Copies of this chain bind each other. A is one copy, B any other.
């Protein structure tokens, strides 16, 4: 960006730095300053607005403290504001102001969205009716803090057949979301634990890890998945990876690297691998990719899974499988916490799985998502010299590498002007160095099939194709 045309008023009672701060904040929250935009240097902006550099600095620092802006050493200030990225606002109950803003959004390619049109409401309702019954009155009381045993049995059964994960119900902990489980997990490691995370990667995990005092190092990702060649000589002892389907690139971690990672973990007692198998249900071609946990004979892999993609993100049911030493620690340190998931919901889900509805739903959704992905690829085909599709074999999103002269920020901005929300790769990175060539993470799952063509074509048009 060039400059910020902020009109400062010296005759009112608000300090200049605060006027500048409020102006920039508004520009960010209302979407006129896009994610990743570099702000003008303090010197240039001070010159332009005819104010002191200190005033600019105070405003920038306030924005940084509040998380709207991030400072990168020797590079300058960049617009952050992850918040908007975090969830798709579909609620009817937003404040009037937000509502107007959101109503304008015609298509939202958020990677966390799912298809909501094919959910088996009738079956789910039936199991809810069965469960909410006077005969089950003891379900009102607190249950097992690890989650209901019957649900853990169903999960263990599913994991074994679908993912090759070998575990007993006793090794599973059910919780209200991956974040909750991750926070519990972090309490099991000591304060000196050093984490390694894929970069780019799942930004929620990055953000949670960064809010702890522990050191966190980024691990680069290429076409074989996360690079592990230098992990031996690093200080890292716990890595967070998405081996079956890297988020967001979609790559599968190569067998060589899997072996290397497992060997690395086995070499030291305190080393562990957190495997987030977040959307492994949806693979459309080739053989199913086995989980890293299923290759691990040393008890070094913590397996994380969720029903966010396979059922609905709003259900808040996730699970983790702990290796024995960690389960022991969990029982000693954390078993006094109550379960974070409603017992009634756990029993509804148990029935849904036990009666075969879960498998049927997955089979149906695999077809729906494959059709959606094929449609996206088909529409993009004529533009293949300018738009490359990455990670097109699985998942609920794909990555577009766009090569038409526009940078990431411009691609996001142009789309936004056409009322389309898209999410740039750099928002999912610690190091912010994945901006060239520009990449867009395209969550296609939430767009209804009949609107998908229009949505993608409108996006291409907004980019000048």
Contacts and interface: CB of A to CB of B under 8 A. Distances in A.
Interface of A: 65-67, 82-83, 86-91, 93-95, 112-114, 116-117, 119, 121, 124-125, 128-129, 132-134, 137-145, 148-150, 170, 176-177, 179-180, 183, 187, 204, 207, 211, 311-317, 331-333, 335-345, 446
Contacts of A344: 314-315
Main secondary structure of the interface of A (DSSP, over half): loop
A53 to B, nearest CB: 25
B90 A116 contact: no
Contact of A114 (B67, B141, B338): B141
In the complex, the 3 A-B pairs of residues with the closest C-beta atoms, listed nearest first? A93-B149, A140-B312, A314-B343
B143 A314 contact: yes
Contacts of A317: 342
B138 A87 contact: no
Nearest to A350: B93
A85 to B, nearest CB: 8
13 contacts: A87-B141, A87-B144, A91-B148, A114-B140, A116-B138, A119-B137, A121-B132, A128-B132, A140-B314, A142-B314, A207-B336, A315-B343, A340-B340
Contacts of A128: 125, 128-129, 132
Contact of A141 (B116, B134, B137, B177): B116
Contacts of A148: 91, 93
Given A141-B314, A316-B340, 9 more contacts: A89-B144, A91-B148, A114-B140, A121-B133, A140-B311, A141-B313, A179-B337, A180-B180, A316-B342
Contacts of A337: 179
Which of A67, A140, A176: most chain B CB closer than 10 A? A140
A340 B180 contact: yes
B86 A141 contact: no
Contacts of A86: 142, 145, 335-336, 338
A340 B141 contact: no
A7 to B, nearest CB: 25
A34 to B, nearest CB: 18
B341 A90 contact: no
